[in-house]
Chains A and B, each alone.
Chain A
Amino acid sequence: MIIGIDLGTTNSLVAIWRDGKPQIIPNALGDNLTPSCVGLDDDGTILVGKAARERLQTHPHMTASVFKRYMGSDKRIRLGDKEFRPEELSSMVLRALKEDAEAFLGHKVEEAIITVPAYFSDGQRKATRAAGQLAGLKVERLLNEPTAAAMAYGIQDKDQESKFLVFDLGGGTFDVSILELFEGVMEVRASAGDNFLGGEDFTDAIVDSFREYSGLNKVLGSRPADAHLRQRLRDEAERAKRQLTEQNSVWLSVTWSEQEYKWELTEEALNRIGEALLARLRTPVERALRDSTIRAMDLDTVVLAGGATRMPIVRKLVSRMFGRFPAMHLDPDEAVALGAAVQAGLKMRDAALEEVVMTDVSPYSLGIAISRQVGPSQYSHGHYLPIIERNTPVPVSRTENVATISDYQKELLVQVYQGESRMVDGNIYLGKISFPVPPKKAGQISIDIRFTYDISGVLEVEAHVLETKEKHKIVITENAGVMTQEQIEQRFAELAGLKIHPRDKIENRTLLARADRMYELSLGDVRNYLGEQINFFQAALESQDPRRVSEARSTLEKVLGHLESDGVF
């Protein structure tokens, strides 16, 4: 059984294809969504999911979130006294999801399809694979998130013909894909995106405004806010953002140093605050439309995916841009995971999906650095020659011909880049290959450069010197900021030694963490009361009597629920 995993910036999900349809697998707490948070408990065990998320506020130095943004880089994140790479943290989330799936299905799971933003670079994709490997999963295929969302929608109308645009605004990334469905073929026509634009950025904008308008900044002055306060602000802003989906305005309130700071956030204000972010949403949409040569009015549907599309301001923007209302009948949080499950089903060659084929495209151009002639014997260096243009269906192989520019030069250096900028300075460097050429007058030696980009995103560069008929090949595997195979294997062994919080006890642990968080936030009588309730619960846990534990648990849950709904938190 292959599972489909949506490894998101804020939340992750796991799903499978069963009984002719995709299904989300709930986690140990019974939720479909597992927060992408990893933390170190006080006793040194690893916590993943909601439990870690609750501890984000109470133990900010022992908990990590939003680490998807660092995938593909060398950033080290501290949890207490340990340091982790982003792919290691992601692998812990993946492992938790794997266990959830195994518990649900009743057998071992070895293989998974993991989704990545369509616009993820080569290094970021490799990091995602590494995360899968570290979690003990075989990752045959990485699936682009908007394509996954499209598949979730498209699979319902297999026999229809339609062109649609997927607008996927997740926690940390934004992807746009334009797809065409015909005769059971799901064809990606174009992909574009922004890897640093997501719901979290709107939250940050709200935090900034709150600090300004509630007077908190004045009090803080030039002192930086400590981690606890920062996290509290973020949580409050996040809550407000979500509540605005149903209400027209919401009050934010944060208590610090015995002082309460308040501010009202209206939808209009959010529109103003998020103006710059909303403007950034237009660019990938325009680029994707241009590349696909489909005009906005030829689209049949606009599909929303990603939790941040719940925001009314985003929905309004989409309606305005396209002149119609987007389709929202699938839960935007779940669409991508469901799509991953569909792909898993396809891979397993489930009979129900025999008639469906999917083709995807490379979202960025791949090329080399060259010099262009600007005069009879003048050359300008550092130009970019794309060899595989973006949004070409993959797998693909393209060749371009280049020639030497200096008389009797003996060597040729081919530098490989990824990106769209006209000059290589604006693009991402991937690797190089250099080889000798017979020394002749400039322009007499011509070389064919062939790029082969396969379906997993591995690039192979082959240079063919026509004179000598020699061929030189290189496969781009080395990236700065990505772990090598040896490193992965080493870390796999090391991470195996880490203790993960036992799955069957996670529910209690999560509840305790939630109660702790609310305890920290509260003052006076409420705090005393809460403290007592927590003590009762802990006593029950220590007794290890399952009936007593479950009773105490439901009591505490009720208490916390009341406190939250009373608007105290």
Chain B
Amino acid sequence: MKGAWEILGIEPTSDERAIKRAYAKQLKQTRPEDDSEGFQALRSAYDQALAEARYSDYAADESDAPPSDHDTDAGGEPVSVATDAGPDAEQAREEMLATAWKEANQVWQDFLETPIKKTAARFAERANLAALSLLAQDALEVIAGRYCATAGYDHDIRDALVEHFRWDEDSSHLARIDGSTAYFAVARYRGDMGMRYLRSMENGCGAFHKLQAKTPPHFDMDSMNKSFMKEMANLLDTINWRFPEVLEYHLEREVAQWWQAKVQDKKYYIETAFYSIVAGLALSGVIAGTFIAEMNALRAFLIIVTCLTLTIGGGALLALRPPQQLKEAWHERMLPYLYDDATKMRARYAWLLPFTAASLAMFYPSPSLGLQLTVGLAMFASSGMAVLAASPFLTKQGWAWLAALSSVMAYFMSNMVFPAWHWSIALMASVGLQCLINTSEIRVVDWARIGGGRLMTIRAAWIAGVIAFTVLASSTPSAVQVQLLFAWLMLVAGLFLAQFELSLYIAWPLFFSIKVLALGQLNLFKGMADQRLPTLFYFLLMLAIFIGSSMYRAMNEPETATSNY
């Protein structure tokens, strides 16, 4: 790529005339109608050279006054423009400028002093703009601009002027003549408009009131209130995005910064503490209730409660405040790998094979310890893979749940209670699954696409099948093995068809219903030696609940269309 000066064929200079001459000379060789590419290159070289010439050698010209508020009264004289014409032309120009400023000043004084309502229409009338020369109009704009840029302006007059000159839409003309005036006039205007808007807002007026304080508080009880902080976050976003001038002119920067820090600092809200404790108790209750038949009730219960409260607390801590290095390492190393399409494809479906094999192996009659271990590990590994592939979809709460559940599983592994940790692994796997298959359209291979309405039908049919099986299974225990196999096949199909998403609102009904079932299990399967059936039963039921909830959501949300922008 040739440099700009190279294309023009001259040495870098701030002499505009030399640049123009060089451009003209080159233009005769590369005419726009003959050589489009060449002309474009020449033209951009010309523009670049002119720009460099202008800024590398500051001419004592109009718009480079340092940004400071004006204290001048509306009558300042303009800087004269440097010209290189003869002295006569120079004098003529000076005269023209002087006349224009005189006219403009007259009009301005007249407008200010006459006792009329100060509106844009009146200004235009009063100014009788049709009679002014263009120069005088420019001068008038500068005078008006300076009025609006200095503190102490009348709001009505200022609004009328902005409406007339439309600086809020395009102030570049004024900026060319007097840059800092334009900047300040527009900034003040925007600040005032912003304040008006924010005052009229309904939501967040409490937050806005706090924001208008003179000094930042030491501690504010409201910063622990989740809904208040949400309002404050919205308000700060609105101000930062749309009304930064409000911050400049009407609010104390320190106060805003204090609240900004509070918003960004993920603090423990009162609600968070409440939810964590309740969740811990519920989960412990569920698990305790399920296995109360197998171990010393009270001991188990206490262990579980302690364990879980610690893990949930720890998990929340981890999720909310990961150490900086971990975060960075995650972003730089793991995320690109995880988001890579190939990895996602592999992980998305690769875990299915070992999971299926391991699950089927669990039906092997009287399994040895080795088999149990293998199955357990295989289940664990495949669910781990599932979780990894699902991680792009997991929210912070999701991670917390996973952490909690995996420690539960670890605990039970040490007890070597086959059905128990198998159940936990299965639970974890399903959690991973639910985040994994997150599509509204299943595409196994391109031509075997199932989407939209048909998918809903298939899911509904699947649920009906599962319920029917549940009913049948309990009534004919002898044919259980066959039915189990049948159910298993349906399960695998269901995994493909399910759409899961982990969120607090699904987990809650899930756990409560399982608790209820756990209580019921004591009656239903008390006599059964084989604990694998109830395990599978739970699994299927959970799946059914997940699918049901996702169908409910899908029915209430509009289908996301292919967007335009």
A185 at the B interface (CB under 8 A) = yes
Q: Hey, which chain B residues are within 8 Å of A230, CB to CB?
A: none
Whether A375 contacts B134 by the Cβ 8 Å rule is: no
Interface string of B37-50 (1 = CB under 8 A from A): 00110010000000
Q: Which of B25, B83, B135, B176 has the most CB of A within 10 A?
A: B135
A425 at the B interface (CB under 8 A) = no
- Decide: A359 near B133, CB < 8 A? Known: A183-B20, A370-B565: no
B85 to chain A, nearest CB (A): 9
Per the bound structure, the CA–CA distance linking A374 and B21 in Å amounts to 46
B230 at the A interface (CB under 8 A) = no
Whether A323 contacts B133 by the Cβ 8 Å rule is: yes
Q: Which residue of B lies closest to A323 (CB)?
A: B133
* Cβ-defined partner of B135 (8 Å) among A296, A404, A410: A296
A205 at the B interface (CB under 8 A) = no
Whether A411 contacts B562 by the Cβ 8 Å rule is: yes
Q: Which residue of A lies closest to B131 (CB)?
A: A320
- Decide: A290 near B172, CB < 8 A? Known: A322-B134, A409-B563: yes
Whether B31 contacts A413 by the Cβ 8 Å rule is: no
B252 at the A interface (CB under 8 A) = no
Whether B39 contacts A286 by the Cβ 8 Å rule is: no
- The A159-218 residues at the B interface (CB cut-off 8 A) are 182-185
Whether A286 contacts B134 by the Cβ 8 Å rule is: yes
Per the bound structure, the CA–CA distance linking A360 and B43 in Å amounts to 12
Whether B28 contacts A357 by the Cβ 8 Å rule is: yes
Whether B562 contacts A359 by the Cβ 8 Å rule is: no
Whether B131 contacts A184 by the Cβ 8 Å rule is: no
Whether A393 contacts B43 by the Cβ 8 Å rule is: yes
Whether A290 contacts B173 by the Cβ 8 Å rule is: yes
Segment among A89-97, A394-402, A488-496, A528-536 that sits at the interface with chain B: A394-402
Known contacts A375-B242, A405-B563, A411-B562; 20 further A-B pairs (Cβ under 8 A): A182-B21, A185-B23, A185-B27, A286-B134, A293-B176, A296-B134, A296-B135, A296-B138, A297-B96, A298-B81, A357-B24, A359-B27, A375-B237, A393-B32, A404-B563, A406-B565, A410-B562, A411-B563, A413-B564, A455-B33
Per the bound structure, the CA–CA distance linking A488 and B448 in Å amounts to 49
A371 at the B interface (CB under 8 A) = yes
A548 at the B interface (CB under 8 A) = no
Query: Helix, strand, loop or mixed for chain A's interface?
Result: mixed
B241 at the A interface (CB under 8 A) = yes
Q: Which residue of A lies closest to B136 (CB)?
A: A323
Whether B36 contacts A406 by the Cβ 8 Å rule is: no
Q: Hey, which chain A residues are within 8 Å of B133, CB to CB?
A: 296, 320-323
Whether B32 contacts A295 by the Cβ 8 Å rule is: no
* Cβ-defined partner of A185 (8 Å) among B24, B81, B176: B24
A381 at the B interface (CB under 8 A) = yes
Whether A412 contacts B565 by the Cβ 8 Å rule is: yes
The 7 closest A-B pairs by CB, nearest first: A183-B24, A406-B563, A296-B134, A409-B563, A185-B24, A413-B564, A395-B36
B388 at the A interface (CB under 8 A) = no
* Cβ-defined partner of A374 (8 Å) among B24, B28, B241: B241
Q: Hey, which chain B residues are within 8 Å of A394, CB to CB?
A: 32
Can you give 15 A-B contacts (C-beta < 8 A)? A141-B33, A183-B20, A285-B134, A295-B81, A296-B133, A355-B28, A357-B24, A357-B27, A357-B28, A357-B32, A375-B241, A394-B32, A395-B36, A412-B564, A455-B36
B130 at the A interface (CB under 8 A) = yes
Per the bound structure, the CA–CA distance linking A355 and B31 in Å amounts to 11
- Decide: A396 near B40, CB < 8 A? Known: A297-B93, A422-B169: yes
Per the bound structure, the CA–CA distance linking A407 and B93 in Å amounts to 59
Whether B130 contacts A295 by the Cβ 8 Å rule is: no
A376 at the B interface (CB under 8 A) = yes
Q: Hey, which chain B residues are within 8 Å of A282, CB to CB?
A: 129-130
- Decide: A357 near B31, CB < 8 A? Known: A184-B24, A404-B563, A406-B563: yes
B62 to chain A, nearest CB (A): 10
Q: Which of A275, A402, A412 has the most CB of B within 10 A?
A: A412
Q: Hey, which chain A residues are within 8 Å of B25, CB to CB?
A: 183
Per the bound structure, the CA–CA distance linking A21 and B20 in Å amounts to 27
Per the bound structure, the CA–CA distance linking A502 and B27 in Å amounts to 47
B251 at the A interface (CB under 8 A) = no
Per the bound structure, the CA–CA distance linking A359 and B24 in Å amounts to 11
Q: Hey, which chain B residues are within 8 Å of A406, CB to CB?
A: 560, 563, 565
Q: Hey, which chain B residues are within 8 Å of A393, CB to CB?
A: 32, 43
Q: Hey, which chain A residues are within 8 Å of B27, CB to CB?
A: 185, 357, 359
A295 to chain B, nearest CB (A): 7
B97 at the A interface (CB under 8 A) = yes
Per the bound structure, the CA–CA distance linking A422 and B96 in Å amounts to 35
A278 at the B interface (CB under 8 A) = yes
Whether A455 contacts B563 by the Cβ 8 Å rule is: no
- The B508-554 residues at the A interface (CB cut-off 8 A) are none
Per the bound structure, the CA–CA distance linking A323 and B131 in Å amounts to 11
Per the bound structure, the CA–CA distance linking A370 and B36 in Å amounts to 29
Q: Hey, which chain A residues are within 8 Å of B31, CB to CB?
A: 357
- The B1-49 residues at the A interface (CB cut-off 8 A) are 20-21, 23-25, 27-28, 31-33, 36, 39-40, 43
* Cβ-defined partner of B32 (8 Å) among A275, A285, A395, A404: A395
A219 at the B interface (CB under 8 A) = no
- The B172-209 residues at the A interface (CB cut-off 8 A) are 172-173, 176
A203 to chain B, nearest CB (A): 21
A246 at the B interface (CB under 8 A) = no
Interface string of B131-156 (1 = CB under 8 A from A): 10111011000000000000000000
B173 to chain A, nearest CB (A): 5
- Decide: A455 near B238, CB < 8 A? Known: A293-B176, A322-B133: no
Whether B241 contacts A405 by the Cβ 8 Å rule is: no
Per the bound structure, the CA–CA distance linking A117 and B366 in Å amounts to 94
* Cβ-defined partner of B134 (8 Å) among A321, A359, A413: A321
Q: Hey, which chain B residues are within 8 Å of A83, CB to CB?
A: none
Interface string of A352-389 (1 = CB under 8 A from B): 00010101100000000011011110010100000000
A279 at the B interface (CB under 8 A) = yes
Per the bound structure, the CA–CA distance linking A371 and B565 in Å amounts to 7
- Decide: A375 near B238, CB < 8 A? Known: A297-B135, A409-B563: yes
Whether B40 contacts A395 by the Cβ 8 Å rule is: yes
Per the bound structure, the CA–CA distance linking A107 and B494 in Å amounts to 85
- The B234-264 residues at the A interface (CB cut-off 8 A) are 237-238, 241-242
A157 at the B interface (CB under 8 A) = no
Q: Which residue of B lies closest to A377 (CB)?
A: B237
Per the bound structure, the CA–CA distance linking A547 and B356 in Å amounts to 113
A31 at the B interface (CB under 8 A) = no
Whether B40 contacts A184 by the Cβ 8 Å rule is: no
A33 at the B interface (CB under 8 A) = no
Q: Which residue of B lies closest to A379 (CB)?
A: B565
Q: Which residue of A lies closest to B563 (CB)?
A: A406
Per the bound structure, the CA–CA distance linking A402 and B564 in Å amounts to 12
Q: Which of B20, B129, B138, B565 has the most CB of A within 10 A?
A: B565
